[in-house]
Structure 1
Amino acid sequence: MITDRSYSKSKLKKQEGTNSIMKMNGTETRAGGLKNLQDSNFTPPSLYTGIISFFISAVMLQCTIFSADKISETASVKNTVHLLLPPAVYAVSGVETNIYFDNIILAPNSWNYLFDVDCSHGRQDRERWRYFPEDKDVGKFPLSIKVFDAENHLLAQASTTVYVSQKDAGQGKKISLLLIGDSLTDASIYPEELYRMFKEKGNPEVKFIGTYSGSGKPSEEGKPSHEGYSGWTWAKFCTRWVENPSACIYKMGNSPFVFMKSAKQELDFKAYCDKNNNGKAPDYIIVFLGTNDCFNAKDMNIDATIDNIFKYADLLIGEFRKVGPNTKIAVTLIPPPVATQDGFGQSYNCGQTRWQYRKNQHRLLERMIEKFKGREKGEIFIVPVYLNIDCINNYPKKEEQINARNPKRIIRDANCVHPAKEGYYQIADSFYSWLKYELNQKGI
């Protein structure tokens, strides 16, 4: 339940104060002593004075202890809900930016917690912070979030910086973009939306590099090319090779970046660029991988799984960097799954639970931020897609009968990790906002 934060803030302030205050019969009492607040000539008998003093001292001792406990508790916040904000949030004039609260903590039910957003821009709703930037907002500003439990205990706090770019950033330029991913890219919905957005007035001319336009179809004129393959991982892009790829369905063929050289398969991004971009490295590369890499991990092996992801991430990014020393490379903080178990039941029966995958996904994001933050000087960036997707409303739905004995029909989630088109559009918004930040002509 999300409540008005004004009560919680005032309560917390009182709890954190170094002096507790009580008023009794016109007397203000502090831990440091008494002060007569009324102008009175009445002097109580000494017995009453002693009783009153003893009572007030005892109460104030309890108040002081309570206050000290709260100060200690607040000073040693342990982030038990794994609140996770990225170093930067990207926004652009005319495009909505969101931070969905369920996506930034790790909890089976985020409705059990209270969120408090401190920011000079945007608006806090029940389930999100939302912001629709205007031209006058171009620049940067801080944003912080606190998380409380139902008893108003501060559980976690984190902050980030929001960067707002003007809508005409990059106008008149020519750039090339390579999108790499799994089925979320293969669906081609967010690539096509990016393609459409960049066709609008005030944008650069964008060349989408790639060999596919979705679902194994070769590149088509008027559609964005990319390298999106259903079920693929960081490792497959580095190593996948089969002797007869033409006999395979498209997703089981060779990696577009692996070539046969001297009877040996090698990761060779230069050969890829020679074949698909006139020998030039892309100006921008977005890698949107991780879902398949961590999907089946368990608590006991998730960190080992991520270690293996990073092994191939380093290999692939290193290969990109050899060919394009100035190429700007973005790694994606992947989105959470659908909001309920129904989507997992629909997709995998009893093969996976939402909570297990949600734990895997959140841990991967924690490790990715640790690994890739602060590497902007090396032209490596983090795009926090996970913040901006509505996992309640923007995943596919399906109407079905409640059960065999009840003919009434209800709406259930119908997919676990693949959004509806509206969710894909939010993914496109995240990538567009980062690209606009990088294209910002005036700087921030």
Structure 2
Amino acid sequence: MGIYYFDNLIDRDFRNLLNEMGKAVEAQGKTIQDLVAEGQLTVEQYAELLEIINGMIKKGEVTVYDIDKNKGKFDETYLTDELLQQIAGNAPIHSVPAEDSITINQIAFTKKSSNLYDDETRIDGYYLGTDGTLIANEELVTSSFISSNSLQSYFVKKARRILYYDSDKTVIGYDPDLNAKFDYVFTTPDNTSYIRLSWAYSDLPSSPQQLNAGTVELPYEPYYKLIDRRYVEKQEITSDDIPDGAINPHKTSFMKPGKNIFDKENIIKGYYVNYTNGNLVESASYNTSEDIEVIQFNNYVPNISIRMLAFFDGGNNYISGNQFLNPGDIINAPENAKYLKVSFNAGDEEYLQIEEGTTVTAYEPFGYYIDNLLINNSSGDNRVKVLLPPTIYGVTGMENNIYFQNIVNVKDTLLDFNVEGSEGKHMSKKWTDTPTNPSNSNLIISANKDFKVLASTTVNLVVKEPLGTGSTNLLVIGDSTVNAGGLTQRILDNFADDPVTMTLLGTRGDAPNLHEGRGGWTVERYRTDDMYDGVVNPFYNPSVMDFDFSYYASNQGYSVVNNVMFVLGINDTFNSFSDVEVDTKIDNILTSYDFLIQSIHTFDPNVRVGVSITIPPNASQDAFGNAYGNNQTQWRYKRNNAIWIERIIEHFKNKEAQNIYLVPMNHNIDTENNIADGVHPNTNGYNQMGDSTYFWLKSFDS
């Protein structure tokens, strides 16, 4: 009989005892066999003895219940499959996990994205059969298994197949709608532990896939799983831990981007972007921007021509494009647009501005603001602005000027200017032109310092011949610069040899030089005062206690009024001594201005209303000292005037369709020689104001 020795199934002492017993049995067996050989034990007796021994312990009848488990040890071969699964799962045993055996999916304290779909695990070129089989199709894509709950509603951005699986990843059902579906809500059946999705690449290609719990689409975010910061020990961060340049302006709360989203320092030279596919194509004639961040559905507008553009999503996938955009054309960012590339003529990067909105404003370099101070990639004074309206006017045979000091908000001696255009001459202190032919062209005027463009604007120069027929009239409403009569007299003088007959309207002045000028008056005073400083306000209707143009016209017998021009702003802003103060005043002034214009258009919507851009002050502080003592300084009022001009240009520009026009007087007056005191022109100054008015009026004749 064979002897069975015991191994590590039981502990050592008990094992040794059993082995010793086995040896004893073996010894006795040999002794019994010797007895049979010597004839002392018959064969029958030997067989009977073996039967008795085998009956005591039969093979296969020893179980764990026959063993004292407190003295025994068991390896995994003696455990049931169920117990082994429990140990592999949630059994509370004290074991050391194998290296790399625990993943983030097995951690209970993770922070997860609302989007349950992980694009990194998708299977390209396959779709799901209703039995869960993957079927090859290069136009389709399938997700991996996505953990889910049973009887739970989910929103999916796009899907053609939705399958449900139990905890063993066995298919238990599928959504009955096997067609393409978008922004779809479904509910998982009972016992669902996983979901899988299939859809086509052509299904909403510009929209990333999203699956989130609930019945509404949550804001998109890419899939992630992170360890919640509550479970991570906080570590002190010092300046040494942050590399130089690691924090960009987007990560700060105190820096705000300027309006120009194009950065001329980040361009791809010698390439243009193909507007049909977003690829870069080599061409020495063009340069292209790096990615410009945009917001989907928002409007953007360029100040100069764009050759081509293309939009991309957050993964830099091409969405759509366009070509041949003119200055002022609207660029609308499509759904899911995150980045924009624009291509332009090489060299135009020095003047290109792309800003949010639908109208072009004065050029501003790319940069960020800190407490209203613009920080950009250029050196020098970065608060410079060029203050001109979108359109300026001229007449053949008459001198027209743009004095550089008048159109910036700092001293022109701090800057170098550049004028690009086919018309006129660039002189040391001004651009000047006495055109011989009518024209319609653009001027690009930039302010520079240390060979860097600090500010730039593009204006449309419209030059007309003094043509036309018939007659027209004009009512000028204003302050002391109108009351002096020099401005309106110059208008009459210019029309003396003009084929169009001009009649000035008004209750003040001496016919034919009539007007409605009043010294010290403001926009708001024309609304609120029936009389000021002994001078009656003929526009004030006591029954409504406000400006009423119909009331005025009726009293004066004016059945037809062709043109009205306001010349105001000096008294409105003169006595302000901080930017905040003047800005606050301007808010109210513009509200009143709108009311005055609306009252005129209530009388007749066809009346052309001109809002003159207020002339700047004398360039000399001595003139201010002689006129006002210590009550106001030239630099402070110049600042007020610049803020005012910027605001009225922004408020009234591009409203010609409403018969509202900006009359650009500010650029065409010599503030060094033609201002008599601080703010009032001399005869030559009034002549320049009158010429600017004449240029505007003649722009309507052909």
TM-score of the superposition, structure 2-length normalised?
0.46
Whichever residue aligns with residue 452 of structure 2, its letter is H
CA distance in 1, matches of 2:453, 2:442: 20
CA distance in 2, matches of 1:174, 1:301: 44
Q: Show the counterpart of 2:296.
A: none
Q: In the TM superposition, what is the alpha-carbon distance from 1:104 to its structure 2 partner? A: 1.1
Q: Does 1:106 align with 2:395?
A: no
Q: Secondary structure at the match of 1:179?
A: strand
- Out of 272, 275, 280, which is 2:559 matched to? 280
Q: Show the counterpart of 1:185.
A: 482
User: Superposition pairs for residues 5-16 of structure 1, below 5 Å?
Assistant: none
User: Superposition pairs for residues 337-376 of structure 1, below 5 Å?
Assistant: 337-376=617-656
Identity %: 33
Q: In the TM superposition, what is the alpha-carbon distance from 1:266 to its structure 2 partner? A: 4.1
Q: Which runs of 4+ in 1 moved over 3 A?
A: 15-19
Indicate how the Cα distance of structure 1 residues 182 and 71 shifts in structure 2: closer, same or farther if over 3 A, else same.
closer
For the 8 Å contact 1:389–1:423, the answer to whether it is kept is yes
- Out of 409, 412, 433, which is 1:131 matched to? 433
Whichever residue aligns with residue 291 of structure 1, its letter is I
CA distance in 2, matches of 1:344, 1:384: 24
Q: Show the counterpart of 1:405.
A: none
Question: Which segment drifts farther, 327-336 or 81-90?
Answer: 81-90
* Alignment size in residue pairs: 336
Q: Does 1:96 align with 2:399?
A: yes
Q: Show the counterpart of 2:420.
A: 118
Whichever residue aligns with residue 233 of structure 1, its letter is T
Indicate how the Cα distance of structure 1 residues 432 and 251 shifts in structure 2: closer, same or farther if over 3 A, else same.
farther
Q: In the TM superposition, what is the alpha-carbon distance from 1:260 to its structure 2 partner? A: 2.9
Q: In the TM superposition, what is the alpha-carbon distance from 1:144 to its structure 2 partner? A: 0.3
Q: Secondary structure at the match of 1:234?
A: coil
For the 8 Å contact 1:237–1:256, the answer to whether it is kept is no
Q: Show the counterpart of 1:141.
A: 441
Q: In the TM superposition, what is the alpha-carbon distance from 1:139 to its structure 2 partner? A: 2.6
Whichever residue aligns with residue 157 of structure 1, its letter is S
Q: In the TM superposition, what is the alpha-carbon distance from 1:342 to its structure 2 partner? A: 0.8
Q: Show the counterpart of 2:455.
A: 156
Q: Show the counterpart of 1:431.
A: 693
Q: Does 1:235 align with 2:524?
A: yes
Whichever residue aligns with residue 81 of structure 1, its letter is V
CA distance in 2, matches of 1:258, 1:163: 37
Q: Show the counterpart of 1:245.
A: none
Structure with higher Rg: it is 2
Question: Which segment drifts farther, 139-148 or 176-185?
Answer: 139-148
CA distance in 2, matches of 1:381, 1:372: 7
Whichever residue aligns with residue 288 of structure 1, its letter is V
For the 8 Å contact 2:623–2:678, the answer to whether it is kept is yes
For the 8 Å contact 2:445–2:456, the answer to whether it is kept is yes
C-alpha deviations, 1:224-281, integer Å up to 9, x for none?
Answer: 1100000000111112125xxxxxxx843331101333xx6343211211222x3424
Whichever residue aligns with residue 499 of structure 2, its letter is N
Q: In the TM superposition, what is the alpha-carbon distance from 1:190 to its structure 2 partner? A: 1.1
Whichever residue aligns with residue 581 of structure 2, its letter is N
User: Superposition pairs for residues 299-338 of structure 1, below 5 Å?
Assistant: 299-338=579-618
Q: Show the counterpart of 1:44.
A: none
Q: In the TM superposition, what is the alpha-carbon distance from 1:18 to its structure 2 partner? A: 5.3
Indicate how the Cα distance of structure 1 residues 75 and 235 shifts in structure 2: closer, same or farther if over 3 A, else same.
closer
For the 8 Å contact 1:138–1:164, the answer to whether it is kept is yes
Q: Secondary structure at the match of 2:559?
A: coil
CA distance in 1, matches of 2:351, 2:539: 56
Q: Secondary structure at the match of 1:377?
A: helix
For the 8 Å contact 1:94–1:132, the answer to whether it is kept is yes
Whichever residue aligns with residue 657 of structure 2, its letter is K
TM-score of the superposition, structure 1-length normalised?
0.71
C-alpha deviations, 1:283-331, integer Å up to 9, x for none?
Answer: 0001000110011112221111101111210111111110011000000
- Out of 419, 422, 435, which is 2:684 matched to? 422
Q: Show the counterpart of 2:140.
A: none
For the 8 Å contact 1:240–1:253, the answer to whether it is kept is no
CA distance in 1, matches of 2:672, 2:621: 12
Q: Show the counterpart of 1:65.
A: none
Whichever residue aligns with residue 409 of structure 2, its letter is L
Q: Does 1:378 align with 2:667?
A: no
Q: In the TM superposition, what is the alpha-carbon distance from 1:138 to its structure 2 partner? A: 1.1
For the 8 Å contact 2:365–2:454, the answer to whether it is kept is no
- Out of 501, 504, 520, which is 1:208 matched to? 504
Richer in strand (by share): 2
Indicate how the Cα distance of structure 1 residues 208 and 71 shifts in structure 2: closer, same or farther if over 3 A, else same.
closer
Q: In the TM superposition, what is the alpha-carbon distance from 1:158 to its structure 2 partner? A: 1.2
What are structure 2's unaligned runs of at least 5 residues? 1-263, 271-349, 353-363, 368-375, 377-381
CA distance in 1, matches of 2:627, 2:432: 30
Q: In the TM superposition, what is the alpha-carbon distance from 1:75 to its structure 2 partner? A: 6.7
- Out of 524, 536, 539, which is 1:254 matched to? 536
For the 8 Å contact 1:189–1:425, the answer to whether it is kept is yes
Q: Secondary structure at the match of 1:371?
A: helix
Indicate how the Cα distance of structure 1 residues 154 and 237 shifts in structure 2: closer, same or farther if over 3 A, else same.
same
For the 8 Å contact 1:259–1:268, the answer to whether it is kept is yes
For the 8 Å contact 1:96–1:130, the answer to whether it is kept is yes
Q: Secondary structure at the match of 2:617?
A: coil
CA distance in 2, matches of 1:378, 1:228: 25
Q: In the TM superposition, what is the alpha-carbon distance from 1:192 to its structure 2 partner? A: 0.8
Indicate how the Cα distance of structure 1 residues 131 and 71 shifts in structure 2: closer, same or farther if over 3 A, else same.
closer
C-alpha deviations, 1:59-110, integer Å up to 9, x for none?
Answer: xxxxxxxxxxx999x9727662112221001001111111111111111x31
What are structure 1's unaligned runs of at least 5 residues? 1-12, 20-69, 214-219, 243-249, 397-414
Q: Secondary structure at the match of 2:536?
A: coil
Q: In the TM superposition, what is the alpha-carbon distance from 1:167 to its structure 2 partner? A: 1.6
Indicate how the Cα distance of structure 1 residues 71 and 259 shifts in structure 2: closer, same or farther if over 3 A, else same.
closer
For the 8 Å contact 2:388–2:649, the answer to whether it is kept is no
CA distance in 2, matches of 1:370, 1:165: 25
Q: Does 1:76 align with 2:366?
A: yes
Q: In the TM superposition, what is the alpha-carbon distance from 1:16 to its structure 2 partner? A: 9.2
